[in-house]
Amino acid sequence: MLIARVVGSAVSTIKADKLSARKLLVVQEATVRNELLDRTPFVAVDAVGAGEGELVLVAVGSGGRFTALTDQAPADATIVGILDSLEVDGIDTFNKS
Amino acid sequence: MLIARVVGSAVSTIKADKLSARKLLVVQEATVRNELLDRTPFVAVDAVGAGEGELVLVAVGSGGRFTALTDQAPADATIVGILDSLEVDGIDTFNKS
Amino acid sequence: MLIARVVGSAVSTIKADKLSARKLLVVQEATVRNELLDRTPFVAVDAVGAGEGELVLVAVGSGGRFTALTDQAPADATIVGILDSLEVDGIDTFNKS
Amino acid sequence: MLIARVVGSAVSTIKADKLSARKLLVVQEATVRNELLDRTPFVAVDAVGAGEGELVLVAVGSGGRFTALTDQAPADATIVGILDSLEVDGIDTFNKS
Amino acid sequence: MLIARVVGSAVSTIKADKLSARKLLVVQEATVRNELLDRTPFVAVDAVGAGEGELVLVAVGSGGRFTALTDQAPADATIVGILDSLEVDGIDTFNKS
């Protein structure tokens, strides 16, 4: 899963049926230190109640559809987890609290 | 989903059966401010009645086939929503009206 | 779908069963003006009777398998349409005839 | 499959149901000589009991879900093997022991 | 499918069940002239009995699992054909014999 930060939200009234009532968040890839990478932001369906500013895990492709909220949804990216912490090489690179 | 702008359309008479009578639009990735990115335009099936110039959400891969119009279609990109607005870091970066 | 030009063909005698008797064409991504892009050519299964030099639509990933010729085939790219014309920003950027 | 090194781990309490009790590891792509590449680390589900510092095979996309631990999981990357050795051009480029 | 050259092999004792007894080869993308490209080598399951040095077709993603050897395997890349020849713009760019 991609490590990404929730940076915003999207509103779309006219959309495919199975996306109705889904929360669409704007996410941008980030480093293990929660620094934004110079990548194009994209839109993911929120399956876990994530909020802006949180560091999350985004499953892209078919994997993101194995949640109750995204089953059979025409989506290619889903927020599947809110990160509490990341550890790399024995160092805590990110800690939410 | 990718944020993209509809920049044109494609006509293909000889095509796979399940693409018949589908509207094929040319899309190009864009920023949250509706600025075109320097990416190669590609063709997406329109599942929501999008028009040229509109900022849309494009689902790539298998996700794009979970609409009535693209079910079982040999397509890898579908326009699944028309964007009304985008908000990033508390700022409205895009507003359709 | 990617916009690509058919630039050649591939011959493979020893191949997975379900690729037997499939026409394998070499394609290279192109602009909406039918100019080749500096991308690595790859091989796609032809599902529409495309010929060399033609500008085509290539469906990558699982989408390309929703044709009679590629159903259940171990392929990741299929030519699903021959382009007649492309229009971008109100201008005809490509016209086959 | 990608050749990657396990460089850390991730903790996520609030996550999609089918990711519960799965070990989430941070991986980074590597060369056949076990040198880290300058690529963004990402998170993979561990299906084989991999440990930090090990060179592993990561299956991305739907392929990674064909293990007992990842079946139907909303994941897009799975560690599916621990590498013992790699040989390229007749030379042992990596040997675990 | 990607055009790639088999450059080596991988050994993994601890791996997902359905990868057991599968030949894992190291491949690297190549041009239509069988020149290696500056891309990171990766590992593919061999479904056709390919040997080192051969130019092959690699199906990535779900497509690679439509062979007897890779059905239901946690793999994201499969060698699905051994190339005999490639022709581009009327010129034989590669000929195996």
pLDDT single digits (tens) B24-55: 999 999 999 999 999 999 999 999 999 999 99
Residue A9 has pLDDT above 90, yes or no: yes
Minimum Cα–Cα distance from C39: chain E residue: E31
Q: Which among A7, A16, A64 has CB closest to B81?
A: A16
Minimum Cα–Cα distance from D50: chain E residue: E14
**Local confidence band at D97 (pLDDT 50, 70, 90 cut-offs):** confident
**Local confidence band at B97 (pLDDT 50, 70, 90 cut-offs):** confident
> For residue C70, what pLDDT is reported?
96
Distance CA E26, CA E5 (A): 9
| pLDDT tens sequence across B54-81 | 999 999 999 999 999 999 999 999 999 9
> For residue E5, what pLDDT is reported?
98
HSE (side-chain half, CA atoms, 13 Å) at D48:
31
Q: What dihedral angle (degrees, nearest 10) is formed by the CA atoms of D27, D29, D30, D32?
A: 110
User: How close is the nearest chain C Cα to the Cα of E17, in Å?
Assistant: 21
Q: Which CATH topology does D2-86 take?
A: OB fold (Dihydrolipoamide Acetyltransferase, E2P) (2.40.50)
Distance CA D10, CA D19 (A): 12
As a CATH number, domain C2-11+20-88 is 2.40.50.220
Question: Does B17 contact C82 at a Cβ distance shorter than 8 Å?
Answer: no
Query: Which CATH architecture is the domain B2-95 placed in?
Result: Beta Barrel (2.40)
User: How close is the nearest chain A Cα to the Cα of B12, in Å?
Assistant: 24
Query: Which CATH architecture is the domain E1-54 placed in?
Result: Beta Barrel (2.40)
Average pLDDT, chain C: 97
Question: Does D12 contact A49 at a Cβ distance shorter than 8 Å?
Answer: no
| Chain C residues bordering chain E (beta-carbon distance below 8 Å) | 7-19, 24, 26, 40-44, 52, 61-62, 64-65, 72-77
Mean pLDDT of D44-50: 98
Average pLDDT, chain E: 97
Question: Does E14 contact D89 at a Cβ distance shorter than 8 Å?
Answer: no
The complex's ipTM?
0.97
Question: Does D62 contact E64 at a Cβ distance shorter than 8 Å?
Answer: no
Which CA distances in Å does D4 have to A28, D40, D64, E28, E29?
23, 11, 14, 16, 18
Residue E97 has pLDDT above 90, yes or no: no
Helix (H) or strand (E) holding B11, with range, is: strand B2-11
Residue A92 one-letter amino acid? D
As a whole-number percent, the residues of chain E with pLDDT over 90 amount to 99
Distance CA B96, CA E25 (A): 51
Mean pLDDT of C31-56: 98
Residue E72 has pLDDT above 90, yes or no: yes
Mean pLDDT of A12-21: 95
CB-based contacts of D38, cutoff 8 Å, min separation 6: none
Which CA distances in Å does B30 have to A36, A52, A59?
18, 21, 21
**Local confidence band at A14 (pLDDT 50, 70, 90 cut-offs):** very high
**Residue of C9, C42, C52 to mutate, interface with E, max E Cβ within 10 Å:** C42
| Residues of chain E with C-beta less than 8 angstroms from the C-beta of D61 | 61-62, 76
Mean pLDDT of E29-38: 98
Q: Which among E11, E13, E43 has CB closest to D1?
A: E43
User: Helix, strand, coil: what percent of chain E each, to 5?
Assistant: 10, 45, 45
Q: Which among D9, D26, D74 has CB closest to A80?
A: D74
| Residues of chain A with C-beta less than 8 angstroms from the C-beta of B89 | 7-8
**Local confidence band at E35 (pLDDT 50, 70, 90 cut-offs):** very high
**Residue of C40, C62, C79 to mutate, interface with E, max E Cβ within 10 Å:** C40
Mean pLDDT of C37-47: 98
The first and second tokens of residue B63, run together, are 């996700």
**Local confidence band at B20 (pLDDT 50, 70, 90 cut-offs):** very high
Which CA distances in Å does B63 have to B66, D66, D73?
6, 19, 16
Residue D94 has pLDDT above 90, yes or no: yes
| Residues of chain D with C-beta less than 8 angstroms from the C-beta of A1 | 24, 42-44, 75-77
Residue A97 has pLDDT above 90, yes or no: no
Mean pLDDT of D59-66: 97
Residue A1 has pLDDT above 90, yes or no: yes
SS3 C47: coil
| pLDDT tens sequence across A53-69 | 999 999 999 999 999 99
Residue C80 has pLDDT above 90, yes or no: yes
